[in-house]
């Protein structure tokens, strides 16, 4: 888990910057889990009422980025653990129930 804009020293969040950020997170997940297919959940993008800069309008991604993978073996002893296994990747929430940071998830699925 990391801050989406952590380390951004200058400029402002806009489409070109955000597209690079999402691609970078996907590459990071692919390096972290080289034998697992990676699926990126498209993040929500907000457009606050601010003046556009040189690279276009202000576009804000969720404030937190996460990369994760979840795996399970057979859940019952009579099941073959080789045939009955699964992996689950969780994506970002589609809405918030209370104010607070949202998450951008890059998920890894088997």
Question: What's the pLDDT tens digit per position in 21-38?
Answer: 888 888 888 888 777 777
End-to-end CA distance of the chain: 21
Contact 106, 41 (CB under 8 A): yes
CB atoms within 10 A of CB 23: 11
pTM value is 0.67
> Is the model's pLDDT at 92 over the cut of 80?
no
Kindly give the pairing relationship between strand 86-88 and strand 70-72. Answer: antiparallel
Task: Count other C-beta atoms under 10 Å from residue 22's C-beta.
Answer: 19
- Asked if residue 19 has pLDDT above 70, the reply is yes
Q: Which residues of 5-14 are buried (b: 16+ CB within 10 A; e: fewer)?
A: beeeeeebbb
């Amino acid at each position: 888990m990391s801050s989406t804009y952590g380390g951004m020293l200058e400029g402002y969040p806009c489409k070109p910057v955000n597209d690079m950020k999402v691609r970078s997170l996907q590459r990071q997940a692919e390096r972290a889990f080289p034998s697992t297919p990676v699926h990126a959940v498209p993040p929500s993008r907000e457009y606050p009422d601010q003046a556009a800069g040189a690279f276009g309008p202000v576009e804000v991604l969720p404030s937190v980025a996460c990369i994760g993978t979840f795996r399970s073996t057979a859940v019952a002893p009579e099941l073959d653990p080789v045939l009955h296994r699964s992996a689950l990747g969780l994506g970002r929430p589609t809405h918030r129930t209370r104010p607070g940071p949202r998450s951008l998830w890059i998920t890894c699925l088997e």
